[in-house]
Amino acid sequence: MQPSGIRAFFDLVLGMKDVISLGVGEPDFVTPWQIREAGIYSLEQGFTSYTSNKGLYKLRLSISRYLKNRYGLEYCPDEEILITVGVSEGFDLVLRSLLNPHDKVLIPTPCYVSYPALTGLAGGIPVCIDTKHDGFKLTPARLEEAAVKNKPKAIILNYPTNPTGISYSKKELEGLKKIILKHKMICISDEIYADLTYDFEHTPFPTLSGAKEKTIYLSGFSKSYAMTGWRVGFACGPKEVIAAMTKIHQYTIMCVSITSQMAACEALVSGKKSVEEMKREYRRRKELVVAGLNDLGLSCHNPQGAFYVFPCLKGIGRKSMEFAQGLLKDQNVAVVPGTAFGESYEDYLRISYASSFENLKEALARIEKFLNK
C-alpha cells in the first residue's frame, strides 16, 4: 500500500506561512453551535460510557426516520444500521466483511484515495474504470465492458464524487443499476456528499427499484454538518452484512464515542438550517471558482455537488505535480496534483472550495500571477 498522495503533498505545506490551502477535503466551517452544545451537554450530564456496539439506539432510530422522511428509504434501526467511525470505518468493515481473497471490486476513477487501498487491504483486487473520457461519469457501456471482463464481486459508487464534484441523475443511476443487477454485483454506495447536491435532487442508490437488497449505503456527518473531527458515520444494508460488519467493529472499535453520537443525534434534530446555509455558501464559492479557473484557461466543468473542482491543465500545457509544486513555492497556494488520484490524472488538479470566499478570490489572483510569470 502506498501512503496517500494527498497527505504526501501536504507534508510540504506544513511549516510554510501565509499558505492558502485548497487541498484538504474538509469544511472550513466549524460544527454548528447547537450540535457542539449537545456534545458538551452530554458530557455535563455524565454520559461518558461505551454505547451498544451498533451505536446508540436513539441515533439509529433518528437515522432510520431521517432516511424514511427524506427519501422514503426504510432501514430497521435494530438490524440494518450500524454507527461507524466515519464513512472511513464503514468502508473498511464492508470490504472486510464481503470480500474473499482476490475478489475484484470495480472502482470508477478518479476516486477518493481510500477505495483502492482499502480494497487491497481486505484481500480484494481493485479494478479501476477511468471516466475521464466520459465527463468523469461512469457509463453503462463502460460498466458492462468492465463487468464482462472482470467478473467483479462488487462496485464502489460515490456521488457527488470526490475529487470531481460530478453527480448522477436518477435516470443515469437506473442505467448503471441495470448492469449492476445483471452481473450480480454488490453496490457499495458512498453518498457522504448527498446533502451538498446543487442542481437536482439527490437519489440514493438503494431507492432504485430492486437495488436495496444489493446495496450497502454509507453516509455520515463529516461533510454536511461540518463534523469531520467528531468521526461519526453510518452503514445501512441487508441485516446479514450489517451483522458481519458489526462483528469486526465489535472487536476492533467497540463503539463510536458517545459524545459524538449524542452530537450527531442533535444534528438530525436541528442541523437542517445550518446545512442549507453552508450549502448556499458553497454554491456561491463554486460559481466564483469555476468562472475564475475557466477565465484563466484551466478548463473546468461545473460540478453538481460536494466542494471540489477538477480543472484540466492541458490548455496551458502544464503537468499536475510540477504545476502544484510551482504554485505552492511561488505563490503559497496549495492544491492537490491530479496524480494523487492515479498516474493517468497528470493533466488535472483537485481544488477544494471549502475555503472562505476571500481566500478563494486571493487564490485565483495568485494563480493568475503564477500563470503570467
Ligand X SMILES: Cc1ncc(COP(=O)(O)O)c(C=O)c1O
Residues of this chain that interact with ligand X (CB under 6 A) are 25, 86-88, 112, 158, 162, 190, 192, 220, 222, 228, 233
Nearest approach, Cβ of 220 to ligand X (angstroms)? 4
Q: Measured between alpha carbons, how far is 320 from 297 in angstroms, rounded to an integer?
A: 14
- CB-based contacts of 164, cutoff 8 Å, min separation 6: 110, 136, 301, 303, 308, 309, 310
Nearer to ligand X, 226 or 296 (CB): 226
Coil, strand or helix at 303: coil
User: What is the phi/psi pair of residue 11, to 5°?
Assistant: -65, -30
Nine-digit cell string for 106: 470495480
Q: Which residue is nearest to ligand X (CB)?
A: 86
Nearer to ligand X, 114 or 246 (CB): 114
Beta carbons of 247 and 254 less than 8 angstroms apart: no
Beta carbons of 225 and 330 less than 8 angstroms apart: no
Nearer to ligand X, 222 or 304 (CB): 222
Nearer to ligand X, 206 or 233 (CB): 233
Nearer to ligand X, 260 or 331 (CB): 260
Nearer to ligand X, 245 or 367 (CB): 245
Nearest approach, Cβ of 315 to ligand X (angstroms)? 27
Nine-digit cell string for 206: 438503494
Element (H, E) at 327: helix 320-331
Burial (CB count within 10 angstroms: exposed 0-12, middle 13-18, buried 19+), residue 213: exposed
Distance from chain centroid for Cα 121:
19
Nearest approach, Cβ of 4 to ligand X (angstroms)? 11
Nearest approach, Cβ of 322 to ligand X (angstroms)? 25
Nearest approach, Cβ of 67 to ligand X (angstroms)? 17
Q: Measured between alpha carbons, how far is 158 from 197 in angstroms, rounded to an integer?
A: 13
Nearest approach, Cβ of 221 to ligand X (angstroms)? 7
Nearer to ligand X, 107 or 367 (CB): 107
Nearest approach, Cβ of 18 to ligand X (angstroms)? 25
Nine-digit cell string for 49: 460510557
